[in-house]
Structure 1
Amino acid sequence: MERFKIVRAFILGPLLEATVPKPGNVNRYRDFGDLTIYNFLFADTAVIGVYYEAVKTAELLRKGIISFSEAGIGELIKRAVQASREAQDANPNFGVIALSVPLIMGLTVGRNILDAREKARLLIEESTVRDTMELYRAIRIANPKGIPSGVKYDVYSDESFRELFRDGINLARLAEMSCERELIFCEWINGYDLSYSTFGRLYGLIKELPLEDAVVEAFLELLAEKEDTLIMRKAGRREADLVRRKAREVLNGNLSLQEFDAFMREEGDLRNPGSLADIMAVSLSLLVLRGLRMEIRNGKVWGVIGRP
């Protein structure tokens, strides 16, 4: 698969995700006090160089010049987060970066889009303790909301680096321990199940609905199916479950989308479904890679797969 095709897909996907007016998220109509659409524009385009380097590193993997354990995915994630932070002053895309880097490399090594998920999983499994340490440094740079302190392998404790080394905690072991608290880690160890199923759902929906409507519908289905782990970390499981039940009401026709969006924003960004937004960004990247282009029909943007 062409280098630039992969990189373009994983830049455009997150930009589409940030632009579409999804409930509870920053979008082209709505901002939060400390996070705007401009943060996403600057952050998501700042990582182009690191993503390109991830592809080149994966080409060495494919040729057998380096092994999976030498891929350095932790450092690549850290450098992408650093580039994002240098371009703007918030944390709009840590989750997207952490999901994208292994998958970008998997797409380069794999035979096709479906094979890529297995290769990405192998990268996580064969990662080293150093990759985990670099991920920790990336988290410190991004400083995401809701990270617990005082826990085993505390991200913000310098002692944690000694503990990670002592216990041999690579990214796979870290993900297994942390999956319940963060969807990204579940995706790593489950072969990107949710990202790929959402990609498949989007592929079907764009045949029936304008692009924005298709993305909103797929996002509502995600919210109705899964508790968002960012909401859970910030506001607790009861709040996350309430969001899920409200999303089901929208799908059942018992609550309007506008009422749901108002509910999602009435506590500021407390109910911002950031983890599921990260899943949507990667799913859209896969859709772009599959050949997504746009057409305007009667003033609406439609997503179309394939050449004109």
Structure 2
Amino acid sequence: MERWRIIKAFTLGPLLEVAIPKPGNVSRHRDFEDLTLYHFLFGNVATLDILYEATQVGIMLRRGELEFSEARIGEMIKRAVQNSKASQNANPNFGVITLSIPLVTALTISKHIYHAREVVVRLINQSTVRDTMEFYRAIRIANPKGVKSGVKYDVYDENVFEELFKDRITLKDLAEMSQERELIFGEWLNGYELSYKTFLRLKELTGELDLEDAVVRTFLELLASKKDTLIIRKAGLDEAKLVQEKARAVLDEEMSLEEFDAFLREKGDLRNPGSLADIMAIALSLLILQGYTLKRSKLGINP
């Protein structure tokens, strides 16, 4: 696929995700105390050069100039996080970066948008120990909330790099061990199943609704069907289940969207469904990549 189409789509997708008012998330109308719309704008645009590099790696893989094990996925993720952190002082986009870099690389190699699902699994399967070590450095730079300590291969343990090297832990190994704690790892292993499912639902709904309404509806369906792993890490499994139940109540018209949003925000950012927001950002990127153009919106923008 053409590199600049991919880069533009994976730049615009995350910006749309944060701008559109969704329950419990930062948007153009709502901020958290330590995380604002501007953190996302600065952090996401700061990764543009690494998205370009990921397409270059994809081109070299397609030409046979690199082996899949030489793709340097972990290093590109780390440098994208460094760029984001250098542009602002929060962690607005670690999940989006972690999902985007392998998929952008895979899309550049692929014949079409769906073929990339097979390619990205191959990239993860042929990752190296160095990829994992660089990915761990990326986590340390981003310092995301709710990272569990005291586990095997604790990211903040001073001996963790020796352990990763000794045990030859690749990104695939790490994902298999950690997929219950983080949705992103499940996406790596299953070819971005949830991201593509969300993209196809968005594609369906944008045929009949404006973009904002389609995104909000799809997000509610995501929240109702999946427990958000960021909420689990920060607030616990019971809170994540409660959020899931409330989302179903909104879909069943037993609770208003405004009441749900207030519920999600009543404990600060503890109920912020950030992992599913990352899935939405990738789904929006895929929607743009396949050719969605803005026809109407609540802002009154017309073609």
Asked if Structure 1 and Structure 2 have the same fold, meaning a TM-score greater than 0.5 normalized by the shorter chain, the answer is yes
Q: Name the aligned partner's letter for residue 289 of structure 2.
A: L
Q: Relative to structure 1, is the Cα distance of residues 111 and 158 closer, same or farther in structure 2, using a 3 angstrom cutoff?
A: same
Aligned to 1:85: 85
Q: Distance in 2 between matches of 1:160 and 1:112?
A: 39
Aligned to 1:39: 39
Q: Distance in 2 between matches of 1:124 and 1:78?
A: 16
Q: Distance in 1 between matches of 2:295 and 2:222?
A: 26
Q: Distance in 2 between matches of 1:292 and 1:47?
A: 23
Q: Distance in 1 between matches of 2:7 and 2:72?
A: 18
Q: Offset of 1:58 from its aligned partner?
A: 1.0
Aligned to 1:256: 256
Q: Name the aligned partner's letter for residue 65 of structure 2.
A: I
Q: Distance in 1 between matches of 2:283 and 2:239?
A: 25
Say if 2:232 is the partner of 1:214: no
Aligned to 2:266: 266
Q: Relative to structure 1, is the Cα distance of residues 298 and 73 closer, same or farther in structure 2, using a 3 angstrom cutoff?
A: closer
Q: Offset of 1:5 from its aligned partner?
A: 0.8
Q: Offset of 1:158 from its aligned partner?
A: 2.2
Aligned to 1:305: none
SS of alignment partner, residue 294 of structure 2: strand
Aligned to 2:2: 2
Q: Offset of 1:299 from its aligned partner?
A: 5.5
TM-score, with structure 2 as normaliser: 0.98
Aligned to 1:240: 240
Aligned residues: 303
Q: Which moved more, 1:1-10 or 1:27-36?
A: 1-10
TM-score, with structure 1 as normaliser: 0.97
Aligned to 1:160: 160
Q: Name the aligned partner's letter for residue 72 of structure 1.
A: R
SS of alignment partner, residue 292 of structure 1: coil
CA RMSD in angstroms comes to: 1.1
8 Å CA contact retained: 1:211, 1:301: no
Unaligned runs of 5+ in 2: none
Q: Offset of 1:40 from its aligned partner?
A: 0.5
Q: Offset of 1:274 from its aligned partner?
A: 0.4
What per-residue deviation string (whole Å, max 9, x for no partner) do you get for residues 202-256 of structure 1? Answer: 0000011111000000000000000000000000000000000000000000000
Say if 2:302 is the partner of 1:290: no
8 Å CA contact retained: 2:196, 2:283: yes
Q: Name the aligned partner's letter for residue 33 of structure 1.
A: E
Unaligned runs of 5+ in 1: 303-307
- Percent of paired sites with the same residue: 63
Q: Distance in 1 between matches of 2:205 and 2:26?
A: 22
8 Å CA contact retained: 2:18, 2:28: yes
Q: Offset of 1:295 from its aligned partner?
A: 2.1
8 Å CA contact retained: 1:35, 1:92: yes
Aligned to 2:203: 203
Q: Distance in 2 between matches of 1:190 and 1:173?
A: 13
Q: Distance in 2 between matches of 1:298 and 1:7?
A: 26
Q: Distance in 1 between matches of 2:202 and 2:245?
A: 22
SS of alignment partner, residue 76 of structure 2: helix
What per-residue deviation string (whole Å, max 9, x for no partner) do you get for residues 129-182 of structure 1? Answer: 000000000000000000011111000112111111111110001000000000
8 Å CA contact retained: 1:128, 1:170: yes
8 Å CA contact retained: 1:25, 1:272: yes
Aligned to 2:63: 63
What per-residue deviation string (whole Å, max 9, x for no partner) do you get for residues 277-300 of structure 1? Answer: 000000000000001111237864
> Could you list the runs of 4 or more consecutive aligned residues of structure 1 that deviate by over 6 angstroms after TM superposition?
none
